[in-house]
Structure 1
């Protein structure tokens, strides 16, 4: 920890939230002649890298200046009256729960801007792309930093419009339909969520999330808590996404450009689960306990459903899309996050928060890698990738088994570094011990083994067993993907593919390194989240 004054910490947090918004406005202005470079398009892309890089530096400075001895304490707080008549305040702050998500968002947005600088998605001018990317970053960072219910809702909604346009204008086939489904599902969920937030604020007499968490539901009747949890939970579940409210996700991921998929999976899905932990668990604990078994049941259905959908897409002849498969895998992985939250135990909630970060790192890496595969081969269709062209014959000693067609894109032979990274992302995603994907899912299962008082242990033991079975299905489909895309005999005349380029190495290496660090040194993250979770569940956030 570096000793940074509270006023500097306040400025850093304000800059992290507002900086991208100011950068988005500046990106719309003409570039000064000395900064245009080869073209105005290059200048605005460089501007996006600069702004997101500055925000990442500020987020890292916040992490370095954070008091790691007291992670349950709200730090870098700003509290200014905004709408006195409604007692709405511009209240910002971070603790051990929000800080990792803040840094993850800043990192993934910077890596996306860097990737777009060298590989701009096909579509309209970067003059529109960069402001939308920065507006998306500002809304996401604000969601994790604000401590007022109405501000949380505004930040939560801010991300919808830029993500809609990123999909609709820079996406691939089916982008218009996917963008409309995304916006309609999330807007309808948000309308219901707003009613629940207003109910809590008006009944409790405040919209301040710190005061509400400290009150721990004592000023709200059980019936009010039940209604509020149901309303807010629906809006959060759509964004998570929880089965059966997930159907917008596969289309959105399949159609979105690479950076859109990275940010959608790595950051936007975390906003929903963060709301469960930050708002529903401490503010309406009795209402949440009523719905916890149902939430856990839907979570484990999502785990199994997502895995079975991936297995169906991965089989030969299914014409499965690799981006769509990873999207369905997110339904399963976020199911583990919801299961951990539903246990209402420190172990389960810590597992959920760990799985949130791990999923952002690993799935962000996987979408970058799949984008790299598509750039080189022109497709993400598994059957097209896996089957060699008609004139190819396997080399001596590499013949296919009798009656079975030779299969495999042979990425290990055609682009070995890219193939190795794709295999790394797959084994990290399936929860291999020693990598980041392991600890979150394991802790969620441990939490289900011994849920909080008032929850049925036999029911949660059944949920734990089903979720554990889901981990086997996850391993099955990811290993099938590795076999079909990375392995296979390399025909003598098969064209080589360009291996990992310099800008790709720069964008992907931090995600690989952090996945390894999270797997080998989980205390880095759990040391931040555990004290904050303990205090949150006990009823209070100072």
Structure 2
């Protein structure tokens, strides 16, 4: 280790912030948490600025200290471009979530401000640790420790069915973690042992019995598949994301789930290269099922938050597909996909949460015509949705394109099947937007004039008034009129009873502050993807070198060369 232990300092900042928040006043809790998260974000930018893309060693900013030498465990940290991208993404999302979560604790009770934001900061410390750990046992400690703050964020501060959802999340994660623990202990005995026997570098390139290597691969992969989440071990995700507050759902789906796909690259591929090739056909099959099945679940979902969670099952299928395509283009696309998915999912969850707060329902069927009521909210949701379906010009398009290109290089049939997921993604995003935001304004009356049926958007006097405190009054001063025939020139009937008209506020300044940086990131990564790829590419090259895989030769070029 040389210089300051930057990774340790970066991880300690939010942890210290959590302690300060717990001893602060209730009113100051969110502000203090925001300050510490912003300092952490600036620290991650310092790492990015100091990262050397031309370095030959795998990890930079390394720290190695003896922790439990008798067991071969070290406190070892270090990052490559992939880990750096994950840490920076996490550090950007946490302050955005804290700003967005201003009203979350008010729903639960003012006395719980401190715990809510303190758990968020504790979770940030563990997220930094899990991406920076270069000791397998230390990684496992952070991997399991993340369950604690997430469990309490869902169980204590979630919505309906939060306790059942938190328990299901915990049981699935613990089951996968325990399987991995057996593999962690077993892989130690495959190496040279010693005080630093759990270091990733010391467990890379080992010669193992093929059966043993395959079993160890499965031990790690199952845990990562649960975390990712992949079909068929994905069922905890929609329950947890639906029960959690939107800010918690962002950290759960946008960051924690990336630990699964990150672990597949860092540990499954690097430590068990032969087993990874052995398992590739099955893993690709599971990835394709996740892509298609998750998309169909999203199309059929009526709960808005559950729908967004199902889209992530499909997106993670693409990420895993790119990883196990074993091409530099596909793997770089997968890592970039992880980053883009984190930001696009954050925007969808947070904007949907803003909509739910205004209307009080997560059911898509309770909406319609909201672009007339909240045009700015509708516009930002549309941009987030376009990012989710990988519209050209937005960051997710670049990553999905790279994944598809890398897959076609080695597995063209899988590439063709996965392309169905692109069509389905457009379907569930556009159908969601149509159901929620298009159509007549809420509370419009359906009238028939001279045989022409249309909606009357006239707002009767006294409807949709706003109180002094800004609360929405959705009552009508003439409720009977809403159920009587609507007349115009003596002709017309109301075909169905409709709710009374109402007005709600569009995005306020704080909510725009939440959404604006996310949209800016969509555009930056869409038009200038090299900002991230320049850091990611060296990590991809090193990983594929350790696996012993090279890109397939272009088929067209080979044919042309032979013809000459």
TM-score for both structures, normalised by structure 2: 0.84
d(CA) in 2 for partners of 1:422, 1:281: 37
Trace 1:472-487 onto structure 2 (pairs within 5 A): 472-487=423-438
Partner of residue 516 from structure 2, selected from 505, 509, 515: 509
CA-CA distance at 1:123 after TM superposition? 1.9
Alignment CA distance shift 1:417-1:464 (3 Å): same
Paired residue secondary structure (1:243): coil
Deviation at 1:538, TM superposition (A): 0.5
1:121 Cα deviation from its structure 2 partner: 5.2
**CA offset at residue 71 of structure 1?**
8.0
Q: What is the DSSP-based 3-state SS (H/G/I as helix, E as strand, rest coil) of the residue aligned with 1:7?
A: coil
Partner of 1:128: 115
SS at match of 2:81: coil
CA contact (8 A) 2:340 2:399 kept: yes
Matched ranges for 1:200-279 at <5 A: 200-204=187-191, 205=193, 206-213=197-204, 215=205, 218-279=206-267
Aligned to 2:87: 102
Specify the alignment match of 1:370 in structure 2.
352
Correspondent of 1:424 among 354, 359, 383:
383
Local SS of the residue matching 2:28: helix
Preserved CA contact (<8 Å) 1:429 1:437: yes
**Is the Cα–Cα contact under 8 Å of residues 418 and 499 in structure 1 kept in the other structure?**
yes
State the SS of the aligned residue for 2:105: coil
* 2:141 maps to 1:147: no
Match of 1:311 among 290, 296, 299: 299
Which residue of the partner structure matches residue 346 of structure 1? 328
Counterpart in 2 of 1:333? 315
SS at match of 2:67: strand
RMSD, matched Cα: 1.7
Q: Say if 1:121 and 1:324 are closer, same or farther in 2 by CA, change over 3 A.
A: farther
Q: Choose the corresponding residue for 2:269, options 263, 275, 281.
A: 281
Give me the TM-score of the superposition, normalised by structure 1.
0.87
Where does residue 19 of structure 1 map in the other structure? 13
How far is the alpha carbon of 1:348 from its aligned partner? 1.4
Matched positions, count:
486
CA contact (8 A) 1:72 1:531 kept: no
TM-superposed CA distance for 1:25, in Å, is 2.5
Q: What is the aligned counterpart of 1:529 among 536, 541, 561?
A: 536
Deviations 1:137-157 (Å, cap 9, x if unpaired)?
A: 111110001100000000011
Q: Any idea what SS the aligned residue of 1:82 has?
A: strand
User: Which of the pair has the greater relative contact order for Cα pairs under 8 Å at 6+ separation?
Assistant: 1
Q: Indicate yes or no: 2:122 matched with 1:171.
A: no
How much does 1:222 deviate? 2.0
Q: CA deviation at 1:120?
A: 3.1
Q: State the partner residue of 1:7.
A: 3
User: SS of the residue aligned with 1:423?
Assistant: helix
Query: In the alignment, which residue of structure 1 is the partner of 2:458?
Result: 492
Q: CA deviation at 1:74?
A: 1.6
Deviation readout 1:68-104 (Å, 9 max, x if unpaired): 3338642111111111112211111111111110011
CA contact under 8 A between 2:108 and 2:157: conserved in structure 1? Answer: yes
Cα deviation digits, residues 445-490 of structure 1 (max 9, x gap): 2222123xxxxxxxx3222111101110111111111111121123
Residue aligned with 2:222, SS: helix
Aligned to 2:40: 55
Asked whether the equivalents of residues 167 and 176 of structure 1 are also in contact (C-alpha less than 8 Å), the reply is yes
Distance 1:72 1:536, change over 3 A: farther
5+ residue gaps, structure 2: 442-456, 460-500, 549-564
**Which of structures 1 and 2 has the bigger CA Rg?**
2
2:376, 2:58 → 1: CA distance?
A: 43
In structure 2, do the counterparts of structure 1 residues 128 and 71 end up closer, same or farther at CA, with 3 Å as the change threshold? farther
